[in-house]
Amino acid sequence: MRQKPKRLKKGDTVGIISPSGPYRDGQLEKALPFLESLGLNYKLGENCDKRWGYLAGSDEERLSDLHTMFSDPDIAGIICARGGYGAARITDKIDFELLNNNPKILWGYSDITFLHTAIGQKNNIVTFHGPMLASDVAGEDFAPLSAKMFEQLFEPTELVYEESISQLHILSEGIATAEIVGGNLSLLTNSLGTAFEIDTTGKLLFIEDIGEEPYRVDCMLNQLRHAKKLDHLAGVVIGDFADAASTGDKPTLTLDEVFDDYFYRKPYPVMKGFKIGHCQPHFAIPLGVEATLNTKEKTLRIMPGVQ
């Protein structure tokens, strides 16, 4: 299992960066009182509010903020402002030795999946798939459960997902305990053939996405299949796939049919319906820790992500 970063304490300072896309004017400011309510101080990356087309500043600027926050001894953890696109453009330039010498909480999701995967592969450090400040915390629909998930950063906590949170559906029965990895399906697929290719052997694979029609989800799962990433899994946790309905009038499979085609009655447990992803509530999870998927109990138990 991966190295766990140190927990946060009241009074700590967290760094805020935008390693992918820019946030809308005023959105980040709406989220800052939430950090204060957690007893945290914050420091914005020097280039956090930069704009370069669909990117939050140039590659050099975004990379500089990432390196600065990891190297700054006064920064106890790092929370991403939003996703979008662009993290993969800087990943091959990351100083992974710097990160290895300064392991810290990294919290975010969506496009941040590429960073989660790379840091997990290169540094063997636990990272966190959780709601982001400008795109989630600032939203009017930010759920109490989503807010509560930040508590896992302050105290080692075993997380238990059960049907009191959302209805879960079994595609393949079983019980498996293994390291949980994954994130946004598009970004996991984009990692294939790179130095940061997702390792799924013997792992619980978690997937989620947004705005992808069934044929696109099919295409990405098929690419993972061809790359042998679905051959030796311990299990599959299917999170939220928001806005996934087909928008055309052409014949289509449903998203449920696509998932059935790839995961029905596999030799490992598979469940879908988890509110993890581009949704509210958003159940935040550490990546790279031991987790148990149990279809008999309809639960997902995840070990603490901090020490």
Active-site amino acid positions: 110, 208, 278
Question: Count of CB atoms within 10 A of residue 161's CB?
Answer: 23
Spatial separation of the C-alpha atoms in residues 74 and 48, rounded to whole Å: 18
> What is the 8-class DSSP label of residue 169?
E
User: At residue 241, what is the residue type?
Assistant: F
> What is the 8-class DSSP label of residue 35?
H
Question: Count of CB atoms within 10 A of residue 238's CB?
Answer: 24
> What is the 8-class DSSP label of residue 1?
-
Spatial separation of the C-alpha atoms in residues 274 and 282, rounded to whole Å: 9
For the chain, what's the residue count?
307
- The 3-class secondary structure across 205-259, one letter per residue, is EEEEEECCCHHHHHHHHHHHHHCCCCCCCCEEEEEEEECCCCCCCCCCCCHHHHH
Spatial separation of the C-alpha atoms in residues 195 and 122, rounded to whole Å: 9
Question: Count of CB atoms within 10 A of residue 246's CB?
Answer: 15
Spatial separation of the C-alpha atoms in residues 129 and 113, rounded to whole Å: 8
Spatial separation of the C-alpha atoms in residues 181 and 278, rounded to whole Å: 17
Rg of the chain in Å (alpha carbons): 18
Spatial separation of the C-alpha atoms in residues 120 and 96, rounded to whole Å: 11
- The 3-class secondary structure across 64-91, one letter per residue, is HHHHHHHHCCCCCEEEECCCCCCHHHHH
